Structures are given as C-alpha cells and as structure tokens.
Homo-oligomer: A and B are copies of this chain.
Amino acid sequence: MKIRFGISGLGFAGAVLMAPVMRQHPDAEIVAACDPNGDVRTRFGEAYDIPVFSSLQEMMDGARLDAVYVASPHQFHCEQVLQASARGLHIIVEKPLTLSEEEADRMIAATENAGVHLVVGTSRSHDPVIRTMRGIIDSGEVGRVSMVNCFNYTDFLYRPRRPEELDTALGGGIVYNQLPHQIDSIKAITGQRIVAVRAMTDKLDPKRPTEGNCAAMLTLESGACAIVVYSGYDHFDSDEMHYWLAEGGRDKKPNHGGARKVLRELEGSEADLRRTRYGFGGPISKSMESGNADRKQPHFGVMLVTCEHADLRASEDGVYVYGNDGMREVPALVGRGAYSQGDTIDELHNAITGKAPAMRDARWGKDTVEVCLAILESSRTGMQIDRRSA
C-alpha cells in the first residue's frame, strides 16, 4: 500500500526536506500540494507534475488523499490537523506540534475521535542512529540507562530568518525549534517520560532577541537524567566532535563565524536571502534530491548515552558501543526511504498498516511542547519544574 500524500506548505520543511524523500519512498507518493504563495506553488507543481492548490481545504476537495503532511508555519498546525482529521486523513505534522497545551488537547481529541494516525516529525529523533541506540538498549546487553548527555553548538540563530523566527511569542528561537530534536531523541532512546525539568535559557544578542542558548537537566521516570546543552550563536561548532559531518550527514568544512559574516555583509534583505538559500529550487533543495548519496548518518550534535555496561555514541554510519571489553561499531538500522524524513514516513505507514503503533503521536507531541514550556518556566523562576503529577 502506497500512502497518497498531499503536502500543505511548500517551505523548507515541506518542499525542500520532505518532498524529494517522499517522492522516492517505496510506500508513499505525492499526489497534491498547497501553499498560499503562487510562485512556489506553480514551480513545485510543475517539477512534481501534480495538481496544486492555494489552501488545504481546496486540496482536500480536489485530490484523493490518504494523508496530509502539515508543513505550514507553527500557528496553522492546529487548524490544519483538525481539518484533515475531519476528513478522515492521516497526518504527519511538522514539529513542534503546536506551541499551546490547549491546542495540543484539541489535536489529540480530533485525531483520536476520527481514528486517524498522526506522526509528529521529522525530528532528529527519527534518525536511524537514534533507533539503533534504542535497539541496543532494548536488547538488554548494555543494562539500564543512567545518563544521557546531549550538546549541540551551531549557527542556528544566524541562519537567515524571517522576523517571527526571532520572536519567542511567535514560536521563534531554539526552545521551540531546536531543543525538540534533543528532547525527542532522549525520549526515543530511553523510552521514558521526562518527569522534572531544570533549565536556563539565555538571549545573548539584543539584535536577535529570542532564546539562543540553553542548559537543561531533565529527570526521567527511572531517576536517570539527561543533560541538554545548546548554543546557536555561531561560535564553537560541535560538529568538530562529530567527525566534521554536517547535521544531514554530509562533509562539512570548519567555518566559525561564517553565518554571522554572511549577514554582516548582506546587501539585500535577510528574508530574501532565506528564500534564496532555503527555498524550493535553491542549493539545499538540489542537494536533498540526491537522497542518501554521499551522506553519512544524520545527527544532532553529540549524544553520549551512559548505560550500566557501556556508553553509546553515534559513529559516522552507526553507533559506537564502548563496553567493558573495548569499543565496537554497530551499523545503523536504516529505514525504507532516505534518512529521517523517510523514517517518518515509515512510522506513519507502519501505523496505518498495523505493523507498529506510532511512537510520536499527538500525545507525544503535546508532551514535548510541555517540556519546552517547562524549560522556559524553569529559566524564568530558577526552580525545578515537577511533571510527575501532570
């Protein structure tokens, strides 16, 4: 069975990252797309040879779909998930699910009442190396998890941005857009709920006034703890500690301060640069078309998982197991399509066909949003936020 997808939103997530993977996935096809922007919509429709529409409702009226990929801006996620559920369509919704617990509850109710499957993604928790780590832990050979240490130092805040991406109230900043990769990876690796949150977030550049760095300590159900460190200030680059591979798995050259330099020397507008670089048909778009060719495994900074009998860490193409007798490498458990986006499609397909329930469903997405909100609250108050009773 091939899932017949309509893509809602032809920005970076929808048209650049997901579409080329979805087109090549053995269990999916793209049968329609919609976006309010006429230019990108037309170009995408021609490139993919599919009908395109200006709104989700028109797309659902005009095309026969099994599922919708909601890749619109954050603030439309809830409305569009409700609309797709009402039509009985399955859903992949780009992370974060939403920024509000109340909206999350409506999305949970809508999908569960309609009996449709929803997967939140793609987050880096869909990476094959994360699933591989979970498999090693589930096998029992490394004993219980004691401590997870995640850190990532990037240029996130200096990639060209739309103004709302620099406004936390509108869903901007690293807490909503980068930490969910680490939070979801911790949840996926350990299979545990986060029951307490202590965090500090900071804003270090008044010209880009949203959270750009964070240190957090998350307590898991078992009493194990996870550390999350993130900085998006284009200073140190932690990919130096990951074999100089970029997040997507391709080779990377050291370029400290490079993203700041581009913005400093920019003559046009930042929003234009964003469109050129991250838009459909741009350089990243073209690079994604090649699938997994020349790609090592994707990753999100460094994650070190300390278990009773071994530490786990992503290698270039799998997972290093540092055990009592030395180190060995386990190859990554790859999915049916190209890395990560393909794994997200696998998850929905497995749910629809009854092979395995979706791990990252709407309740999962709500939980992740709550952890993000707890991070912001803990940073404001300086206190640990208890989620045991939640």
A304 touches B (CB below 8 Å): yes
Q: A151–B323 Cα gap in the complex (Å)?
A: 19
B217 and A322 form a contact (CB under 8 A): no
Contact B198 A224 (CB under 8 A): no
A147 to B152, CA, bound (A): 13
In angstroms, Cα B258 to Cα A324, docked, is: 9
A306 touches B213 (CB 8 A): yes
Chain B residues lying within 8 Å of A205, measured Cβ to Cβ, are 308
With both beta carbons as reference points, the residue of chain B lying nearest to A241 in the complex is identified as B241
Which of B257, B308, B327, B382 is close to A219, meaning CB atoms less than 8 Å apart?
B382
- Please give, as numbers and ranges, the residues of chain B lying within 8 Å of A225 by CB-CB distance: 200, 215
Tell me, yes or no, whether A153 is within 8 Å of chain B by CB. yes
Given contacts A149-B215, A204-B146, contact A229 B231 (CB under 8 A): no
Q: Is the CB of B235 within 8 A of A202?
A: no
Number of interface residues of A (CB under 8 A): 54
A235-B311, A323-B257 in contact; A196/B147 too (CB < 8 A)?
no
Judge whether B322 and A382 touch: CB under 8 Å.
no
Q: How many angstroms between the C-alpha atoms of A29 and B95 in the bound complex?
A: 65
Closest B-chain residue to A326, C-beta based?
B257
Residues 220-249 of chain A, each 1 if its beta carbon lies under 8 Å from chain B, else 0 = 000111110101011111000100000000
Q: List 11 A-B contacts (CB under 8 A).
A: A146-B204, A146-B213, A147-B200, A147-B214, A147-B215, A149-B229, A153-B311, A198-B198, A216-B217, A231-B311, A236-B320
Other A-B pairs, 18, CB within 8 Å; known A147-B213, A235-B310: A147-B214, A200-B219, A202-B224, A204-B306, A205-B308, A213-B306, A216-B217, A217-B227, A227-B229, A231-B306, A231-B311, A235-B324, A236-B311, A236-B313, A236-B322, A241-B241, A256-B322, A383-B384
